[in-house]
C-alpha cells in the first residue's frame, strides 16, 4: 500500500475524529431530512459538502506539504524511495481523508435524491460533478503550495490561506459555471428563481453539445490536468527532471479547448474569418497561461546560464528539453497571433469586431508587449527568493500600463506602453518590440548570466 497514504490514514482517521464527524455532520443532515422537504435537505447536504470537502479540504491539502516543512520532516521524505506519483496521492488524498469521509455522508443524501428524481443518469452526473469539484479544488490548493515550496517561499498561516484561496477560486468558478447547466441548480433551489445565465447548449467546433455533459467532461479534464500539474511539480521537488512533452500537450489542450467555442458565429457568419478568430481565442488563453507561468515559475540563475551555454554550443535538443514553461507558452501564443494576423480579413469585419483595419497591427504590438512583460518577470526574479521580486515586477507593470499613461494624459500616449490604435499604426508594434529587445538585452548582459556554468 502507498506508505504515505497509510501514514495519513493513521493520523487522520482516528476513532475520536471519525466519531465527532459522524455525530456533528450526521445531526445536521438528519435535522435537514426531518424538518423540511427533500429539496431543502439536498440543499443542506450540498452546502455541507462544499463546507467540508471544498473549504476544509482545500485547507488540508494546502498545508499537507507545508506542515512537513514546518515539522522538519520534508527533507527526509524527499530523500526517501517514495515515487513522485505515490507522494502526490499520499499527500492529496491522505491529508483530506476525513474531509472526504464527511463528504461521503453528504453525497449519500444528494445521490439518493438524484436517483429518486432523475434515475441512474442523474446519480452518475451528480457523483462525477461533486467528486471532481472536490478533487480539483484540493489539487489546485496543493499545486499552489508545491509551487511555493519549489520557489523556497516562507509558509506562514497567511501564505497557507493564499494557497487555499487558489483551490477555493477554482471551486467557485466551476460551481458558478455549473449553475448555468443544471436545470435544478443550487441557485434555483436557494432563491426560487431560474439562473438568468442558463445555457441550453454549448456550441463548440461547429457542433452543439448538451450543456451538462460538456461541462462534466470539461471538469474531469481540468481536474486531471491539475493532478498532472501536482505530479510534475512533485517530480522536480524530488529531483526528477521533467521533459517538455507533457507541457506541450497541455498547451495544445488549452489552445484546442479555447479555440472551439463559437459564440461569435451569429455575428460574423460568412466573413471567412473563422480560422483567424479561433486563433485569437486560442492565443488569448495561451497568453494568460504565459503570464501565470512567467510570474510563478522559479527563475534560477544556474538554469538560465545552462540554457545559454547549450544554445551557444549548438546543443539544441538539450536546450529545448529545459526551456522554461513560460517560453513554450509564449511561443504558442506567438504562433496563434501570427495565424490570426494572417487569417483574419480585418478590412471586412464589422465595427463591433474590429474598429479599424489596424487591429492586426495591434495584435502584433500585443505580442511584443507580452515578450517585454515576460522579460520584466525574469529580470526581477532571476536568482531571487521570496515574494518581493514578484511584487516589484507587478509594480513595474502597473506603472507601465496604468500610472504613466494616466499621469502623462497625452493623446496617443498609449502607443508607448500598451497595444493601442494610433496613426501611424506601425508605431505601436515598433515601440513594443523595441522595448522587448531592450529588456532582454539587459537580461542577457547580466554578469551572473555570462559566466560559464559547471558541466
CB 354 within 8 A of CB 271: no
Element (H, E) at 35: helix 15-35
Which residues on neighbouring strands pair with residue 202, listed in sequence order? 209
Q: What's the number of CA atoms in the CB half-sphere (13 Å) around residue 130?
A: 28
Predicted confidence at residue 422, as pLDDT, reads: 72
Distance (Å, whole) CA 281 – CA 256: 9
Provide the residue-wise pLDDT of the chain in tens; the chain has 455 residues. Answer: 788 889 989 989 999 999 999 999 999 999 888 877 788 888 899 999 999 999 999 999 999 998 888 888 888 888 888 899 999 999 999 999 999 999 999 999 999 999 988 899 989 999 999 999 999 999 999 999 999 888 877 778 888 999 999 999 999 999 988 888 776 666 656 666 666 667 778 889 888 899 889 999 999 999 999 999 999 999 999 989 899 999 999 999 999 999 999 865 444 444 446 788 889 899 999 999 999 999 999 898 999 999 999 999 999 999 999 999 999 999 999 999 999 888 776 655 555 444 445 678 888 999 999 999 999 999 999 977 777 888 999 999 999 999 988 887 777 777 888 888 777 777 889 999 999 999 999 999 998 887 654 44
Phi, psi of 209 (to 5 degrees): -125, 145
Element (H, E) at 435: helix 427-444
* DSSP state letter for 215: H
Give the cell for residue 81: 524511495
Predicted confidence at residue 72, as pLDDT, reads: 86
Distance (Å, whole) CA 415 – CA 411: 10
Burial of 23 (0-12, 13-18, 19+ CB in 10 A): exposed
CB 416 within 8 A of CB 348: no
Full-model pTM: 0.90
Give the cell for residue 155: 509558509
Distance (Å, whole) CA 292 – CA 384: 17
Which residues on neighbouring strands pair with residue 261, listed in sequence order? 204
First-to-last C-alpha distance (Å) of the chain:
39
**427-440 burial, b if ≥16 CB within 10 A, otherwise e?**
bbbbbbbebbeebb
Q: What is the largest CA-CA distance in the chain?
A: 75
Give SS3 for 191: helix
Distance (Å, whole) CA 79 – CA 66: 17
Give the torsion through C-alpha atoms of 8, 13, 16, 20, to 10 deg: 120
**Cα-to-chain-centroid distance, residue 134:** 16
For 238-269, the DSSP string reads TT-PPPSHHHHHHHHHHHHHHHTB-TTHHHHT
**Spatial CB neighbours of 428, under 8 Å, sequence gap ≥ 6:** 361, 362, 365, 415, 419, 420, 421, 422
Give the cell for residue 230: 501536482
Give the cell for residue 411: 493623446
Q: How many residues does the chain have?
A: 455
**What is the 3 state secondary structure string of 84-134?**
HHHHHHHHHHHHCHHHHHHHHHHHHHHHHHHHHHHHHHHHHHHHHHHHHHH
* Residue position matching grid coordinates 452546502: 47
Whether residue 424 has a cis bond before it, omega within 30° of 0: yes
Predicted confidence at residue 271, as pLDDT, reads: 46
Predicted confidence at residue 427, as pLDDT, reads: 85
Amino acid at each position: 500500500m502507498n506508505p504515505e497514504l497509510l501514514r495519513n490514514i493513521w493520523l487522520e482517521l482516528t476513532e475520536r475524529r471519525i466519531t465527532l464527524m459522524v455525530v456533528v455532520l450526521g445531526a445536521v443532515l438528519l435535522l435537514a431530512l426531518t424538518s423540511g422537504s427533500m429539496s431543502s435537505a439536498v440543499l443542506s447536504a450540498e452546502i455541507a459538502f462544499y463546507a467540508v470537502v471544498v473549504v476544509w479540504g482545500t485547507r488540508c491539502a494546502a498545508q499537507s506539504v507545508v506542515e512537513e516543512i514546518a515539522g522538519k520532516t520534508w527533507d527526509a521524505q524527499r530523500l526517501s524511495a517514495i515515487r513522485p506519483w505515490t507522494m502526490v496521492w499520499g499527500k492529496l488524498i491522505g491529508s483530506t481523508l476525513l474531509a472526504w469521509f464527511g463528504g461521503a455522508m453528504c453525497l449519500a443524501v444528494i445521490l439518493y435524491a438524484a436517483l429518486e428524481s432523475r434515475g441512474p443518469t442523474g446519480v452518475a452526473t451528480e457523483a462525477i460533478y461533486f467528486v471532481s469539484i472536490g478533487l480539483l479544488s484540493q489539487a489546485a490548493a496543493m499545486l499552489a503550495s508545491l509551487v511555493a515550496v519549489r520557489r523556497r517561499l516562507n509558509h506562514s498561516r497567511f501564505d497557507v490561506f493564499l494557497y487555499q484561496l487558489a483551490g477555493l477560486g477554482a471551486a467557485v468558478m466551476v460551481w458558478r459555471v455549473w449553475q448555468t447547466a443544471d436545470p435544478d441548480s443550487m441557485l434555483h433551489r436557494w432563491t426560487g428563481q431560474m439562473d438568468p445565465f442558463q445555457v441550453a447548449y454549448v456550441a463548440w467546433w461547429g457542433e452543439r453539445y448538451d450543456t451538462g455533459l460538456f461541462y462534466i467532461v470539461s471538469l474531469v479534464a481540468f481536474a486531471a490536468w491539475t493532478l498532472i500539474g501536482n505530479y510534475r511539480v512533485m517530480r522536480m521537488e524530488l529531483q526528477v527532471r521533467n521533459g517538455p512533452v507533457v507541457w506541450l500537450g497541455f498547451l495544445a489542450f488549452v489552445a484546442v479547448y479555447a479555440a472551439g467555442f463559437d459564440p461569435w458565429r451569429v455575428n460574423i457568419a460568412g466573413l471567412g474569418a473563422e480560422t483567424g478568430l479561433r486563433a485569437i481565442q486560442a492565443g488569448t488563453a495561451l497568453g494568460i497561461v504565459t503570464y501565470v507561468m512567467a510570474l510563478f515559475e522559479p527563475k534560477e540563475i544556474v538554469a538560465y546560464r545552462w540554457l545559454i551555454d547549450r544554445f551557444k554550443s549548438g546543443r539544441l535538443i538539450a536546450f529545448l528539453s529545459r526551456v522554461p514553461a513560460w517560453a513554450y507558452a509564449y511561443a504558442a501564443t506567438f504562433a496563434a497571433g501570427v495565424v490570426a494576423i494572417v487569417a483574419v480579413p480585418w478590412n471586412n469585419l464589422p465595427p463591433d469586431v474590429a474598429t479599424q483595419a489596424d487591429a492586426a497591427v495591434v495584435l502584433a504590438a500585443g505580442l511584443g508587449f507580452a515578450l517585454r512583460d515576460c522579460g520584466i518577470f525574469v529580470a526581477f526574479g532571476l536568482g531571487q527568493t521570496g515574494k518581493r521580486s514578484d511584487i516589484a515586477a507587478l509594480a513595474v507593470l502597473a506603472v507601465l500600463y496604468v500610472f504613466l499613461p494616466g499621469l502623462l494624459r497625452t493623446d496617443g500616449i498609449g502607443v508607448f506602453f500598451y497595444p493601442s490604435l494610433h496613426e501611424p499604426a506601425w508605431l505601436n508594434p515598433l515601440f513594443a518590440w523595441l522595448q522587448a529587445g531592450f529588456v532582454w538585452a539587459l537580461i542577457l548582459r547580466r554578469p551572473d548570466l555570462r559566466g560559464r556554468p559547471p558541466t
